[in-house]
Amino acid sequence: MTTADVRGIAIPTGHLIGGAWVSSPETFETRSPMDWGTVLAEVSRGDAATADAAVAAAQDGFTGWSAFTPAERAEVLRRLADLIEEHNDDIALIETIDMGFRHESMRERLVARGAVNFRTYADIIERGGEAGEAEQWDAKNTQHTVLRMPAGAAVVITPWNAPFMLATWKLAPALASGNSVIFKPAEWSPLTAAMLAELTTQAGFPPGAFNLVQGIGAEVGAALVADDRVRRISFTGSPETARHIGKAAAENLVPFTAELGGKGPLMVFADADLDLAVKRAAEQYEDSGQVCLAGTRLLVEESIADEFRARLEAATAAHVLGDPLDDDTSIAPVVHPDHLDNIDGFVRRAEAAGDNVVRGGHKVDGSMHFELTLIEPASNDSEIVQREVFGPVLTIQTFAGEAEAIELANSTSYGLSALIFTRSRDRAERVGRGVRAGIIWVNTFLVRDLEAPFGGAGLSGIGREGGRYALEFHSDLKTLIIADGTTTDP
């Protein structure tokens, strides 16, 4: 097994296929956004042959893993959760160094959530949530039983932001359902995926139940999704990649889910708790806005707009852009120089189109940060309003009344998340029902019971994850009809 030494932690750099670590002759570099230039590891660059071997191994692994009872599967998932907790500090450190998100949130929240994801699905399948619906009918003295069967080998492809937490969220239901998986993490942040794969070898999965393939999306990722032995594809990333994957899935008639980008509205009504609304609005800059759920379009009721702006400026100015390992830092760096250029391109085009950059708007010299940026768009049709930037760039617009607020909220092609700030319960219900988004938070942000559905409408995705919804995706129903001996032929 080839490994890289990152801060004294040995991390496998190959693929985990059929229970064994294998390396590719070609590699790609992963570098740290904290210190761009330092190569953290040379990681195996999988190709079509790697994908072929991984899918074959997952098919073999499926036979063993799907034969485990739900209780046996739950035991393995819980062991994996325990191992994640034991290695929390190492995973959090590597996640920060490889991807750049703040160490404090990795250490205290996101890695721990990975363990919770596996435990939640262990609980669900143990209480029978994964298996047969209990419905039984009696037609012509037959007993009908509806059962669920795992689908087979599932490909799970993830993006570079919060990679460990996002991967566990998708892998837990795939594995809990009895599917084997081939996991392909993003090439900009591949290291904690390797740490997770190593823990699965200790948790007790049979060989081939969990496979990891490293490499470039357009290469090994494309080969995986084109393989006709794959029975499910679970994807999180950009709409552009989802289109490629959707075509491959259509070719093989394979169900796929796509969790995609967002352009969430953050709506502040005049009756809102303004301290809370401003605090949450300024939080949308955290992690340099590299969060699909972020409410990046601030929509503020006209009568409080001036006060809101002044308070938002004070809260934004209090942010600290810095080293993500330092707990005083509140804004993480941007993941990659190419992505800094993407963000910069959006702001330059906005300026050229006549949008008003009222704050920030530039790369920060000598670092991987982009200034916290606020833009007043010239029009609601501006690109900066209509397209996901995935950086620390918010827009601000005003509205008069609920109807206009809802119209603006629903005016993009996305529909992932929305935030509403109001003290009125009735307004919360009305506006919440009027806004088109997969998840809507009123006077809060990011809280979600893991059994609740998660996903987006429009360009934000296809399908739902979370709780039983993900288990349904990863399995097929069958109806078992048994005659009792007195049944006459139909």
Which stretches does DSSP call E strand in 160-238? 180-184, 210-212, 232-236
Total residues belonging to the chain: 490
Closest CA to 246 of 220, 229, 213, 222: 222
For residue 234, give both structure tokens. 């679970």
When binding is defined by CB under 6 A, the residue of 28, 390, 399, 441 that contacts ligand NAD is: 390
Determine the residue with CB nearest ligand NAD: 217
388 lies in the binding site for ligand NAD (CB under 6 A): yes
For residue 266, give the H/E element and its range: strand 264-268
**Minimum distance of ligand NAD from residue 306's CB (angstroms):** 32
Q: 186-215: which residues touch ligand NAD (CB under 6 A)?
A: 186-187
List the Cα angle 308/312/317 in 5-degree steps. Answer: 155
**Minimum distance of ligand NAD from residue 99's CB (angstroms):** 11
244 lies in the binding site for ligand NAD (CB under 6 A): yes
458 lies in the binding site for ligand NAD (CB under 6 A): no
Active-site annotation holder among 259, 283, 286, 465: 259
417 lies in the binding site for ligand NAD (CB under 6 A): no
**Minimum distance of ligand NAD from residue 303's CB (angstroms):** 33
Alpha helices in 355-424 (DSSP H): 383-386, 402-409
Residue 177, CA atoms < 13 Å, CB-side half-sphere: 30
Q: Determine the Cα–Cα distance for residues 89 and 95; give it in Å rounded to an integer.
A: 10
Cβ atoms of 338 and 347 closer than 8 Å: no
Which range of residues in 2-10, 146-154, 204-212, 241-249 is near ligand NAD by CB under 6 A?
241-249
259 is catalytic: yes
Residue type, 292: C
Closest CA to 125 of 70, 50, 194: 70
CB nearer to ligand NAD: give 76 or 230.
Answer: 230
Helices 425-434, 402-409: inter-axial angle, 10-degree rounding = 40
CB nearer to ligand NAD: give 139 or 250.
Answer: 250
**Minimum distance of ligand NAD from residue 185's CB (angstroms):** 6
**Minimum distance of ligand NAD from residue 258's CB (angstroms):** 8
When binding is defined by CB under 6 A, the residue of 150, 178, 221, 415 that contacts ligand NAD is: 221
**Minimum distance of ligand NAD from residue 108's CB (angstroms):** 20
Active-site annotation holder among 95, 130, 292, 388: 292
CB nearer to ligand NAD: give 165 or 331.
Answer: 165
Q: Determine the Cα–Cα distance for residues 91 and 80; give it in Å rounded to an integer.
A: 14
Count of residues that interact with ligand NAD, criterion CB under 6 A: 31
Q: Determine the Cα–Cα distance for residues 394 and 370; give it in Å rounded to an integer.
A: 12
Give the x/- contact pattern for ligand NAD in 19-58, rule: CB under 6 A. Answer: ----------------------------------------
When binding is defined by CB under 6 A, the residue of 238, 342, 386, 443 that contacts ligand NAD is: 238
When binding is defined by CB under 6 A, the residue of 66, 158, 234, 316 that contacts ligand NAD is: 158
CB nearer to ligand NAD: give 166 or 357.
Answer: 166
> Left if phi > 0, otherwise alpha if psi is -120 to 50, otherwise beta: which for 466?
left
Closest CA to 428 of 436, 420, 416: 420
Q: Determine the Cα–Cα distance for residues 397 and 349; give it in Å rounded to an integer.
A: 18
294-315 residues labelled b (16+ CB within 10 A) or e (exposed): bbbbbbbbeebbeebbebbeeb
Give the x/- contact pattern for ligand NAD in 265-304, rule: CB under 6 A. Answer: ---------------------------x------------
When binding is defined by CB under 6 A, the residue of 21, 62, 160, 205 that contacts ligand NAD is: 160
249 lies in the binding site for ligand NAD (CB under 6 A): no
472 is catalytic: no
For residue 436, give both structure tokens. 């088109």
DSSP string, 223-259: HHHH-TT--EEEEES-HHHHHHHHHHHHHHT--EEEE
Which range of residues in 105-113, 194-202, 234-242, 429-437 is near ligand NAD by CB under 6 A?
234-242
**Minimum distance of ligand NAD from residue 478's CB (angstroms):** 30
* CA distance to 183, 242, 368, 407, 432, per residue, from 250 (Å): 20, 12, 39, 34, 34
260 lies in the binding site for ligand NAD (CB under 6 A): yes
- Residue 145 exposed, middle or buried by CB count within 10 Å (0-12, 13-18, 19+): middle
16 lies in the binding site for ligand NAD (CB under 6 A): no
When binding is defined by CB under 6 A, the residue of 150, 217, 333, 458 that contacts ligand NAD is: 217
Binding site for ligand NAD (CB under 6 A): 157-161, 166, 184-187, 217-218, 221-222, 225, 236-238, 241, 244-245, 259-262, 292, 388, 390, 416, 456, 461
User: Which residues form the catalytic set?
Assistant: 259, 292
